[in-house]
Amino acid sequence: MQNSEAYLNPRVVQSIRRLDLKAQFIVKGFMHGLHASPLQGFSVEFSEHRKYEQGDDPKDIDWVLYARTDKYYVRKYEAETNMTGWLVVDSSASMGVSFGGEITKFDYAISLSAALSYLMIYRQDPVGLITFDEKIRSSLPAKSKRSHFGEILSSLTNLKPSGETNVAAALTQLSGMLKRASLVMVFSDLLGDPDETLRSIYRLRHAGHDVILFHILDEAETTFPFKGSVELEDPETGETISVDADAMRADYESALEEFRERFRREAANAKFDFVELDVSVPFDKALLEYLVARSQRR
């Protein structure tokens, strides 16, 4: 396994105890892979440039960069390069589930959030943190100074998944808190009414916010590996139900695909990013979605 792949493997990352090292480990692997891949153009845009567009002043073209890439780029102004990001982390009890016992959805969300905060603060972009279950439970203001990274890590480290989920209520509450157009990055397993969740996302989009919705599931939730008669427990209510896993597998898989397909359609319509993840997916997929959203923001 190449180094960059190891850095981005959730199980490798989970073996590191300190969250600050996890974040730097993930970002180092991502940036290494980015510079070594055909997606180098994104790394260019990720710096201080964007592609030349009709109407731009030709005097702003970076001719040195043109000589290296054979493409026209203009240098971004400060108003274009700096943006405010919000990490919105679901800390409800269902996020603490792990059927495999190695890494929970919450572990995955925390590591990814830490990496994104590191990436944004490294870029001197202000980033804030929101945690929620039925409603917003804690918040840190958006700042870009390096010491703020430690504040975010401290808050993430002290989080424990508990309570029931209401994604829609939390996002609706958040939309009333945000005073300027921001990039809102949501990390959740999306338990709850999809109609209400989507309405809250549309509200954020209508207010001018960019949204990346990271839908994080356990591997067992995506593969449904159960056989025979099993007892399933709701991690938030404690209620249990006995089911014939073999008999319900097809219905479960169909329902999950229908759920995700709906979010894919709505994401295309409302122009937000819907990123499907389980805890085995390398972190670079999620980080690339963030990078694409950031590079396209004007």
**Chain segment 33-45, per-residue pLDDT in tens:** 765 554 444 444 4
Q: Residue 50's pLDDT is what?
A: 66
**Distance (Å, whole) CA 250 – CA 171:** 32
pLDDT band of 4, cuts 50, 70, 90: low
Residue range 195-222: mean pLDDT, rounded:
95
**Distance (Å, whole) CA 43 – CA 34:** 7
How many residues are given for the chain? Answer: 298
Cβ neighbours for 233, distance < 8 A, ≥ 6 positions apart: 239, 240
Q: Which two tokens stand for residue 185?
A: 């990055």
Q: 63 vs 126, which has greater pLDDT?
A: 126
Confidence check: pLDDT of 298 > 80: no
Q: Residue 77's pLDDT is what?
A: 52
231-238: long-range pairs with CB below 8 Å, 24+: 235/93, 235/94, 235/96, 235/97, 236/92, 236/93, 236/94, 236/163, 236/164, 236/165, 236/191, 237/164
- CATH class, domain 3-36+82-296, is alpha beta
CA atoms within 13 A on the CB side of 169: 11
**Where in the sequence of the chain do the CATH 3.40.50.410 domains occur?**
3-36+82-296
Q: Residue 217's pLDDT is what?
A: 95
Q: Cα 45 from chain centroid? A: 20
Q: Which two tokens stand for residue 8?
A: 């981005």
DSSP state for residue 120 in the 8-state scheme: H
DSSP 259-284: HHHHHHHHHHHHT-EEEEEETTS-HH
Of 287, 280, 284, nearest to 104 by C-alpha is 280
- With residue 118 as reference, give the H or E element that holds it: helix 105-122
Burial 159-176 (b: 16+ CB within 10 A, else e): bebebebbbbbbbbbbbe
DSSP 126-186: -EEEEEESSSEEEEEEEE-SHHHHHHHHHHHHT----S---HHHHHHHHHHH--S--EEEE
Q: Residue 44's pLDDT is what?
A: 41
Position 249: which residue type?
A: R
Cβ neighbours for 167, distance < 8 A, ≥ 6 positions apart: 90, 132, 186, 188, 190, 191, 192, 196, 197, 200
Q: Residue 166's pLDDT is what?
A: 96
Ranking 43-57, 73-87, 141-155, 245-259 by mean pLDDT, the lowest is: 43-57
